[in-house]
């Protein structure tokens, strides 16, 4: 089998970026060139919302599916977001729209993930949340080391290696007592206490912080239509099973 390319980007919106002899193009699943590129970029991303990030000489911008540079390569880092795109330049973060217009000034020390219409930001060492217009929704006075994204109205926060949850007012509704937490789905969230390298246990909490399924499992999956995959034991002899939201074990093994 012949292999032709020096590099291949991640797949996005039906296209792969492929590199040969320092030149990139985007091809579809038939191998047809859809996006010709006339510049010798050092790196390309994948298409999202009709745009693809490109990098040359450690500066980033966006191209569209014709290969045209929509946003010039002037940023130190750039991300394609939902509605707005976080960018960093000279150590400060802000936001541009899909045309490259600066919507929110580059005044933040860090931008975190976006979900439920809110971006986490850090300024003057403190965290908060803004919406797509730059309006402050959660006051930027939270003294956490890291904030996550909102899921079902709650957001993970971390300080000194411990995690809990806040609501959109910034109020801490679940104390920072866990060593790892997931994201809320169907009203529940997987949580972990212990040391990943040695030992620890998983369980599930509800949005009040109640441990509705005690931390007795060695692994717990995310919820899918009210079911959770759980694991107990070591890698050699451990067993998987299913539990519901009440922690009841389901589906005894059929006859094989």
Residue 95, in any domain of the structure: no
107 in any annotated domain: no
Instruction: Confirm whether 134 is domain-assigned.
Output: no
**Spatial contact of 40 and 22, defined as CB atoms under 8 Å apart:** yes
Number of domains in the chain: 1
Give per-residue burial for 47-69: e unless 16+ CB within 10 Å, then b.
bbeebbbbbeeebbbbbeeebee
- Cβ-based neighbours of 135, under 8 Å, separated by 6 or more: none
Q: Specify the pLDDT at position 75.
A: 97
How high does pLDDT run on average in the chain?
89
pLDDT at 223: 66
pLDDT at 159 over 90: yes
* 68 CB-near residues (< 8 Å, 6+ apart): none
Rg (CA), the chain: 22
Using one digit for the tens of pLDDT, what is the confidence trace for 206-219? 999 999 889 998 88
Which residues, in sequence order, are bridge partners of residue 69? 63
pTM of the complete model:
0.74
Model confidence pLDDT, tens digit, residues 94-135: 999 999 999 999 999 999 878 888 989 999 999 999 988 889
200 belongs to a structural domain: yes
pLDDT tens readout for residues 184-206: 988 999 999 998 777 899 999 99
With respect to residue 237, please indicate whether it lies within any of the assigned structural domains.
Answer: yes
**Does any domain span residue 243?**
yes
The per-residue pLDDT for range 167-181, each reduced to its tens digit, is 999 999 999 999 999
| Residue pLDDT, tens place only, 60-82 | 999 999 999 999 999 999 998 87
The more confident residue out of 220 and 180 is: 180
Cα atoms in the Cβ-side hemisphere of radius 13 Å centred on 150: 21
d(CA 194, CA 178): 8
CB 163 within 8 A of CB 174: no
Neighbouring residues of 25: CB distance < 8 A, sequence distance ≥ 6: 17, 18, 33, 35, 36, 37
In a domain, 241, yes or no: yes
Question: Is residue 133 situated within a structural domain?
Answer: no
Provide the pLDDT for residue 137: 92
Q: Which domain holds residue 186?
A: 179-256
Percent of the chain with pLDDT over 90: 61
């Amino acid at each position: 089998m012949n292999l032709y390319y020096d590099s291949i980007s991640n797949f996005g919106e039906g296209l792969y970026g492929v590199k040969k002899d320092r030149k990139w193009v985007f091809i579809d699943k038939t191998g047809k060139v859809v996006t010709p590129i006339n510049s010798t970029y050092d790196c390309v991303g994948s298409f999202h919302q009709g745009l693809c990030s490109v990098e040359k000489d450690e500066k980033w911008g966006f191209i569209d599916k014709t290969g045209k540079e929509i946003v010039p390569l002037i940023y130190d880092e750039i991300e394609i977001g939902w509605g707005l795109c976080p960018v960093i330049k000279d150590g400060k973060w802000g936001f541009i729209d899909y045309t490259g217009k600066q919507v929110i000034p580059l005044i933040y020390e860090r931008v975190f993930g976006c979900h439920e219409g809110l971006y986490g930001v850090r300024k003057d060492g403190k965290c908060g949340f803004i919406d797509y217009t730059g309006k402050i929704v959660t006051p930027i006075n939270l003294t956490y080391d890291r904030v996550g994204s909102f899921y079902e109205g709650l957001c993970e926060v971390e300080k000194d290696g411990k995690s809990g949850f806040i609501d959109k007012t910034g109020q801490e509704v679940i104390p920072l007592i866990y060593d790892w937490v997931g994201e809320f789905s169907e009203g529940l969230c997987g949580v972990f206490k212990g040391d990943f390298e040695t030992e620890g246990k998983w369980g599930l909490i509800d949005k009040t912080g109640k441990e509705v399924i005690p931390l007795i499992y060695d692994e717990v999956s995310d919820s899918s239509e009210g079911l959770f995959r759980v694991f107990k034991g070591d890698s050699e002899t451990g067993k998987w099973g299913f539990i519901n939201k009440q922690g009841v074990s389901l589906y005894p093994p059929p006859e094989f």
